[in-house]
Amino acid sequence: MTHQHPLLRAAQAFRALHEPGRPLVLPNAWDAVSAAVVQDAGAAAIATTSAGLAWALGAADGDRLRRDQALGAVARVAAAVRVPVSADIEGGYAGDAAGVGDTVAAVIDAGAVGVNIEDARYEPGGAPLRTVAEQVERIAAARAAADRAGVPLFVNARIDTFLRGAGGVDLTLERAAAFLAAGADGIFVPGAVEPGTVKALVAGTDGPLNVMVGPGAPPVAELAALGVARISAGAGLAQAAHALVHRAARELLREGTYGSLAGGFDYAELNTLVTRA
């Protein structure tokens, strides 16, 4: 008798949510409580923001976290919600492709059914992006690790051409084709929200396209009409939440008033949200 992995159905459900024209909208979470709050708001799935997660753990973003720190946080997020979870694992928290495979195996053990893997590099003075050949190896290792686990993990290949000023549509599409051929399921191009650019990326990518939104980006309905399959807020919610902390703290310390705290969660409601999973 063949035993199915306990995450199989969640992985299949998460994969099915990527529908061009009816995009999966992800207000990214960074810890257990933010994940529970996002779920309560109606999200069909939870995706972590690596930046927000790193900040919550006292580290800067950009491949500075240890794998065990990051995946401990992912496990807490997965335990806090009932919907599928996708983990932003930056470059894979590993120096080589085999290490990325180990990270992906650990992601699945943590309870997540998707990953973002980016092609950016952060070494001082180095190239802004990994070579296509190197990133292909890393994506293939991620795919192989998921296959060994028996989980159809959604591998979202993040291409940082726009975010790092390293190239435009043509270079992005070249990378996208190579990464999809290596085993990626979707392509994520943060920094690209101009409608003409998004339309070209959708047309030229043989897989679901993910874009990252924030103030100034077209609304969800417009991006959906362009054929986008996934829309992420990235670190936006974390940035807004921490800005509220700063405003409220400054008001309390400087003015001695509390207006910034108006509209907060009821204590009992928030307490219940984090114990409902």
CB 157 within 8 A of CB 187: yes
**pLDDT, position 2:** 60
The pLDDT profile of the chain, 277 residues, written as one tens digit per residue, is 467 899 999 999 999 999 999 999 999 999 999 999 999 999 999 999 999 999 999 999 998 999 999 999 999 999 999 999 999 999 999 999 999 999 999 999 999 999 999 999 988 888 999 999 999 999 999 999 999 999 999 999 999 999 999 999 999 999 999 999 999 999 999 999 999 999 999 999 999 999 999 999 999 999 999 999 999 999 999 999 999 999 999 999 999 999 999 999 999 999 999 887 6
Cα 61 to Cα 64: distance, rounded to the nearest angstrom: 6
- Residue 257 token pair: 């008033």
| Cβ-based burial of 119 (10 A; exposed 0-12, middle 13-18, buried ≥19) | buried
Mean per-residue pLDDT over the chain, rounded: 96
Q: What b/e sequence results for 148-174 when a residue is b if at least 16 CB atoms lie within 10 Å of its CB, and e otherwise?
A: ebebbbbbbbbbbbbbbebbebeebbe
Instruction: Output the CA–CA distances (angstroms, integers) from residue 172 to 91, 119, 167, 273, in the order listed.
Output: 17, 11, 7, 40
User: Where do the domains of the chain lie?
Assistant: 21-235
CATH for the 21-235 domain, from 3.20.20.60, 3.40.50.970, 3.30.2320.50, 3.40.50.10490: 3.20.20.60
pLDDT tens track for 46-92: 999 999 999 999 999 998 999 999 999 999 999 999 999 999 999 99
